[in-house]
Structure 1
Amino acid sequence: MTAPTWTNWARTVRCEPQHLIAALSEQDIVDAVLLGARRGLTVRAAGSGHSFNPLVVTDGVLVDLSGYAGIERLDRAAQRVTVRSGTSLAAVSTALERAGLALPNIGTLAEQTVAGAISTGNHGSGLKHAAFSDLVESLRLVTADGEVRELSRDATPDLLRCARTALGALGVISTVTLRCVPSFNLRTYERTEPLESLLERFEEWAGSAEHVSCSWLPWGDTVTSRLLRPTQDAPTARAGRQRYATTVSEVKSGLVGLAAGVAPTGVPRLSRLLAGRTGVPAAHVDVAHRVFTFPQPVKFVALEHALALEDVPEALRRLRGVLRRAGRYSPYSVLVRVGAGDDSPLSPAYGRTTGYVNLTVPRTVAFLELHRVIEQVLRELDGRPHWGKAHTATAEVLAPRYPAWSEFQRVRGELDPESRFTSDFVARVLGPVTPSPPAGRD
């Protein structure tokens, strides 16, 4: 009998678990965990597969949560929504819009599941906004013994802080209750200026709008900012088309990547041949979640590190020098976003106002080599890699970068003393589980 096969979105990771279980209920999740316990197998959970790392790879039990989706409760008065863990951000946003509510900040990928987004430290941009997991008020977690634990800010704050960004290492998330806000629209602005001008006033720029980001092609000396400001104005005519402007840019970059083949040195010339608009949407107004996100049809591999906000200018200056000396470039822009500090022990934004530096590359060896160069530069500036994006860091590298690392490991040892939720990748980035005596429950 052929073993079932699971593959991630980018088609860069695959595995053949002994048991691939499509969960449709919380009981299905419990049964899958208990099956792993009976047979001495590891248990991992997968959503939309948008991690570029072998985060969920296992030869044991793989729980597919993509079918365990939907809204369980929506409380307009309390501005809370409870969703199943396999629900996409797009589905949540659409349901909230109908109810006059919204998520205050999300990343660019609407197809990602709620559990995947919180577990890997997904984020949008804006100094007033922490990572997406900061919106979690409570969650239900299936732990290694098959018990369903209800974790909340009020009753179990320390456990919830750890579970909000946990890489699936504490258990399988069943449902999540998220904090919402009244529905709002965003007006977009864009502007292009010299890179050095922006870097000289980077922290001022970072707070110049509710949500900011900038894109920079490293062979050039200009940077394009995108500023988003809440507005009471109605969506502009044909606003829906604007979100596809970035999609067009992604497609162009993908074409350049194919044309450049094994010669990334030709990227600037090929990019200029396909030049036109940069792909940043023109000024317009639309519903917030449609401004935050855009369709991403081209498959790629991305690297991102979280830095202290004040270190981002130095990072970009170093990247400029390294890439220009090498003469090798990705066709995709370096993307910079910002965010508030976080209190979840494994959040890349833990304890500091953060700047996120992201570089996407085509899925070929020649381009992937760029990630090694860039990762070294960002690591030297105390960068913390995004858990779902490409990186080579190990627990030895990561532990000193997270002040509350030992707190997470203590909780991990309590909830998963037999390493039920580990994998080769999890062991690489978190190290082995050290069983700890159960703490008294609140």
Structure 2
Amino acid sequence: MTAPGAVRWQTWSGTVRCTPASLVTPTSEDEIVRAIRAAGERGLPVRAAGSGHSFNALACTEGILLDLSRYRGVHSVDAAAGEVTVRGGTTVGELAETLDRHGLALANIGTLAEQTVAGAVSTGNHGSGLAHAPLSSQIIRLRLITAAGAVRTLDAESSPDEFRCARTALGTLGILSTVTLRCVPQFRLRVSQRTEPLDAVLDGFTAWAAEADHVAFSWLPWQDRAGLRALHVTPALPSRDAVRRRYATTIDEVRCGLIGLAGRADARAVPWLKGRSLLPARPPAEYVDASHRVFTFPQPVKFLALEHALPLDTTADALRALRRTLRRTGAYSPYSVLVRVGAGDDAPLSPAYGRRTGYVNLTVPRTAGQVELLRAIEPVLRDHGGRPHWGKAHTATAEVLAPRYPEWELFQQVRAALDPTGMFASDYTDRVLGPVRIPAELSTLTLAAPIRDGG
């Protein structure tokens, strides 16, 4: 379905908007192919959107915007092989629930169940745990619709460089049609929570990062203690109060949203308001539930977020510097700083490329004073080797980013080969990746697999 004329589109947070020439909502791969070929005939650029959970203009275009929210559903599940093939517009939550019914699960996912699979893998979405790289590392193969309107099937054997690049590509190599992911047997997690002095956590950061299958900690910058969360795989049955425990995190989100509204006139009042909330903070607790329900929780309050991926070994120093910066400003967000960890990745544009990673996330309400906090902390994280999460707020440009990615040039070569006219480019991708350019060595670059209609 194509919406005629100018149609307004905005991100989930409502902070980024655009007016594409046409909004197309395909329900099949053939419809996506036809839309891309029609855009080529009209000389229009194409971008894709899922649930709009990026906090930047990544999906925005003045050309054709493909809304993949109706191109959804699990295509097939092969329990014996431990594989699932899913359409790009399917949400992570839908996928996880389907796998659960088949006795399977994804080994690790992020906190947001409403994000689409294509959007999550394209932007480097991740969970936490030193044994786990970002979600895109679980891809076995994918179907990519190129600027020529051809369908390519990419995998590590037949097209290794293109496959690695396409796993995290910001939608600049083509449209992800279907993705086949590696699954594991269904499992449950025991959630343990405690608080410790922040300095003790930072002094033993790498040891803490390895203490459980999945770990995270949160910290309010005006305080000196951190809340630690450890997840251990367990054979125990789900706890009776598992649902209540899961939604406690959602209640905290609502509390933060209300405090953000109350403190919008002066962010320096946030600690006072936080300490006088009508709803008490949840006490440390232990419970067991299915993995996908532990990893995710409903997030009804709209906000903005910035996150950087840092070398694991520099994350503690970055957090100490971040504490100094935030305390110097005297302005705070009601949301905790969230710290997670992950394994290295080999996708050239993955924020976790080539190194064990510490992820530092700061969430703020959607007010001008709070957004200033993001501008204050971004240089701190950048100075400690940070790479911005592709789906979150940041101000980095291609000049800043290129030296941080050892295989940046390989990605640019693959991009020029798959999209030589820049059909999948936009003002935003030009800023963060640079415009499509055909390097001199392209003439010697041999593509790993021929284009084949129908994959």
Give TM-score, length-normalised by structure 1: 0.98
Say which SS state the counterpart of residue 132 (structure 2) adopts. coil
* AA at the equivalent of 1:392: T
Counterpart of 2:113 in structure 1 is 110
**Alignment partner, residue 38 of structure 2:** 35
The yes-or-no answer on 1:47 pairing with 2:50 is yes
Q: Match for residue 130 of structure 1? A: 133
Whole-Å separation in 2 of the counterparts to 1:364 and 1:272: 21
Q: In the alignment, is the contact (CA less than 8 A) between 2:5 and 2:21 conserved in 1?
A: no
Q: 1:280 to 1:179 in 2, by over 3 A?
A: farther
2:167 is the alignment partner of 1:160: no
CA distance in 2, matches of 1:69, 1:373: 39
Query: How far is 1:276 from its partner?
Result: 5.9
**Partner residue of 1:309 out of 299, 312, 318:** 312
In the alignment, is residue 283 of structure 1 matched against residue 286 of structure 2?
yes
Alignment of 1:20-419 (within 5 A): 20-274=23-277, 277-279=280-282, 282-419=285-422
Instruction: Please report how far the alpha carbon of residue 262 of structure 1 lies from its aligned counterpart in structure 2 after TM superposition.
Output: 2.7
C-alpha deviation, 1:440, in angstroms: 3.6
Give the C-alpha shift of residue 439 in structure 1: 2.3
C-alpha deviation, 1:275, in angstroms? 7.0
Deviates more, 1:374-383 or 1:273-282: 273-282
Distance 1:92 1:198 in 2: 35
CA distance in 2, matches of 1:380, 1:68: 40
1:202-222 superposed Cα distances (whole Å, 9 cap, x missing partner): 000000000000000000000
SS of match in other structure, 1:284? strand
Q: Would you say the 8 A contact 2:79–2:102 is kept in 1?
A: yes
Q: Which amino acid aligns with 1:141?
A: L
| Equivalent residue, structure 1, for 2:448 | 441
Post-superposition shift, 1:2?
5.1
**1:246 & 1:116 partners in 2: Cα distance?**
24
| CA shift digits 1:75-101 (9 cap, x unpaired) | 000000000000001111011000000
SS in 2 for 1:214: strand
Q: Percent identity?
A: 59
List gaps (5 residues or longer) in structure 1: none
Call closer, same or farther: CA 1:440–1:106 in 2, change over 3 Å: closer
Q: What amino acid does structure 1 have at the position aligned with 2:446?
A: A
Deviation at 1:230, TM superposition (A): 0.3
Report deviation, 1:3. Answer: 1.2
The secondary structure found in structure 2 opposite 1:237 is coil
2: CA distance, partners of 1:417 / 1:281: 54
The answer to whether the Cα contact below 8 Å between 1:307 and 1:381 also exists between their aligned partners in 2 is: yes
Report what 2:452 is aligned to.
none
Indicate how the Cα distance of structure 1 residues 391 and 280 shifts in structure 2: closer, same or farther if over 3 A, else same: farther
1:257, 1:330 within 8 Å by CA — same for their partners in 2? yes
**How many matched pairs?**
442
1:66 is paired with a residue whose SS is helix
Q: CA separation of 1:280/1:159 partners in 2, compared to 1, >3 Å: closer, same or farther?
A: farther
Deviating runs (4+, > 2 A) in structure 1?
275-282, 435-442
Alpha-carbon contact 2:190-2:232 (below 8 Å) kept: yes
| Aligned residues of 2:141 and 2:155 also touching (Cα < 8 A) | yes
Question: How far apart, CA to CA, are the structure 2 residues paired with 1:225 and 1:440?
Answer: 47
Residue type of the alignment partner of 2:95: V
Contact 1:135 1:179 in 2 (8 A): yes
Once the two structures are TM-superposed, the CA of residue 441 in structure 1 deviates from its matched residue by 3.4
Residues 69 and 90 in structure 2, CA contact (< 8 A), matched pair in contact too: yes
Measure, in 2, the Cα distance between the counterparts of 1:298 and 1:137. Answer: 34
Instruction: Please say if residues 235 and 287 of structure 1, whose CA atoms lie closer than 8 Å, have aligned partners that are also in contact.
Output: yes
Q: Per-residue displacement from partner, 1:49-80 (whole Å, max 9, x unpaired)?
A: 00001001001000010000001110000000
The 3-state SS of whatever aligns with 1:78 is coil
- TM-score w.r.t. the length of structure 2 is 0.96
**How has the CA–CA distance of structure 1 residues 423 and 167 changed in structure 2, closer, same or farther, with 3 Å as cutoff?**
same
1:322 is paired with a residue whose SS is helix
Residues of 1 paired with 2:108 and 2:283: CA distance?
19
> RMSD between aligned alpha carbons?
1.1
Contact 1:187 1:230 in 2 (8 A): yes
Deviation at 1:166, TM superposition (A): 0.1
Note the C-alpha offset of 1:305: 0.2
